[in-house]
Structure 1
Amino acid sequence: MKPFAFITLLFFTIQHHSALSQEIELVYNSETLQIEQISPNTFVHISYLNTDDFGKVSCNGMIVINDGEALVFDTPANEEASAELLDWLENDQQTSVKGVVATHFHWDCLGGLNEFHAKGIPSYASYKTIKLAKTAGYPTPENGFKKKMKLQAGTTTVINKFLGEGHTKDNFVAYVSSDHVLFGGCMIKELGAGNGYLGDANVAAWSSTVRKVKTTFPETAIVIPGHGKIGGIELLDYTEEMFRGKD
């Protein structure tokens, strides 16, 4: 390897490691909801879904807070935890919740959506997600987009982009450009995870979709999977490898 290329690779490796080594701070904790701050503007909310096939499953969502405004990506898994989250945002953090985004149509993304709607908070998803949620009889996001949508929390921009099928036909990712944080949702696996639920998956397309995520957001330093521990770009590599050869 040429010296310049090695130095460049080393720099980005250090950058990614540095971002992940920043102390994760638990800022809220109850039996039904945890909230962790992982970067200056970005938080992870963790709630729990009882499933027939996998038992009690922890579910991740993302919160972006800046200049007194907040965006929520995937609701907590139920209305009780969603009400807790909104109470924390509005009363503890003194923020105005500008919107909630569902990154695909499964219950662990929008099970608490009615709590947001009851407060008049706008909800967003892809047109595919809206159609699939309506067909499933689930709470349904109100505002749709086709391929890409930008949202603002204060001066912080979040890019929502559909890059292909994988865990579901409608799964998309959300990228916080200022913090280099990618919310991969259930399309992205934590290290060591198995296949999980594949009932609505496009296994053949999954690996190539993750490759597109990597090339679209090359400055990603922190990755939030739909379930389990956050990490760096190794989560993208792990997920891509898991489904490679099935495309």
Structure 2
Amino acid sequence: MTKRFLFGLFLLKWISLPLVAQQDSLVYQSETLQIRQVSPSVFVHVSYLETQDFGKVGCNGMVVIDHGEALVFDTPTSDQVSEELIGWLVEKKIEVNGVLATHFHDDCLGGLDAFHVRGIPSFASDRTIDLAQKAGESVPQNGFGDELSQRVGDLEVVSRFFGEGHTRDNVVSFVLSDRVLFGGCLIKALGASEGFLGDANVGTWSETVSRVKVGFPEIKLVIPGHGEAGGKDLLEYTIQLFGTK
């Protein structure tokens, strides 16, 4: 083989590697649920919530899959759609090891009971459990303080509380292998408005996101609670959006 041919093979392989890591492909869609693969081990599930102020809103959650096991981060918005998500995983012969809620609102907990009915353990920070109880929401079973590390297959996912922002309890979850951050509603999509502020601390929001940047400097992909995923520019956008509050 010529040197030119070998270089061509190397160049093709080099170019294709980032495309695999940054893949974004639709793997499931219905009227109520969409699932997209955004990295080798990470999927985004999107369900919908009818709101008085913002109309029909798409709500993002995350699924991390490795070696036939899955962890779900934030439930779909209802038990029926949670059952749809679980059913898709079961059909793929993937065992759901747990579900973690990043804060106490309906777009994180609205479909929690469907997981409990199937005996799937649920997790949330102690702050989220307390707020969910006070709000009369479904309550996660297992609490943690400021940080929780979970295994799924051979992968590790770290969920951590960096401070108040969208709510007093919002945590983010980071998939170390894929360098994907699920920011939940703490992080805004590019061009998004401030959104619902009824439980927010706008005075600390920007500083909290700055701590996320420092805490997880390896981030490659960021999944917000609503809207399109992107890079670290989502963190910068959120910092600037609330930086003058």
The question of a shared fold, defined as TM-score above 0.5 by the shorter chain, is answered with: yes
2: CA distance, partners of 1:58 / 1:132: 23
Q: Deviations over 1:161-193 (max 9, x none)?
A: 000000000000000000000000000000000
- Per the alignment, residue 66 of structure 1 pairs with 66
- Give unpaired runs (5+ residues) of structure 1: 1-17
1: CA distance, partners of 2:192 / 2:21: 22
Contact 2:21 2:39 in 1 (8 A): no
- Per the alignment, residue 26 of structure 2 pairs with 26
Matches within 5 A, 1:63-212: 63-91=63-91, 93-212=92-211
Contact 1:158 1:177 in 2 (8 A): yes
> Counterpart amino acid of 1:39?
S
Is 1:216 equivalent to 2:215 in the alignment? yes
**Structure number with larger C-alpha Rg:** 2
CA spacing shift, 1:19–1:168, aligned 2, 3 Å: farther
Contact 1:124 1:144 in 2 (8 A): yes
- Per the alignment, residue 42 of structure 1 pairs with 42
- The higher relative CO (CA closer than 8 Å, separation ≥ 6) is in 1
1: CA distance, partners of 2:19 / 2:126: 34
Shift of 1:245: 2.3
1: CA distance, partners of 2:33 / 2:106: 16
Contact 2:20 2:40 in 1 (8 A): no
2: CA distance, partners of 1:19 / 1:186: 27
Shift of 1:22: 2.9
Shift of 1:90: 1.0
Runs of 4+ deviating beyond 6 Å: none
2: CA distance, partners of 1:19 / 1:164: 34
Shift of 1:19: 6.5
TM-score (norm 2): 0.91
SS in 2 for 1:239: helix
Q: Percent identity?
A: 58
CA spacing shift, 1:184–1:20, aligned 2, 3 Å: farther
> Counterpart amino acid of 1:36?
R
Contact 1:102 1:124 in 2 (8 A): yes
Contact 1:150 1:158 in 2 (8 A): yes
Shift of 1:147: 0.4
Shift of 1:151: 0.7
1: CA distance, partners of 2:148 / 2:100: 11
1: CA distance, partners of 2:19 / 2:70: 22
Root-mean-square deviation (CA, aligned residues, Å) is 1.3
Contact 1:181 1:220 in 2 (8 A): yes
Contact 2:156 2:177 in 1 (8 A): yes
Q: Deviations over 1:49-104 (max 9, x none)?
A: 0111111000000000001100000000111110100000111x211100000000
2: CA distance, partners of 1:143 / 1:189: 28
Larger displacement relative to structure 2 (20-29 or 97-106): 20-29
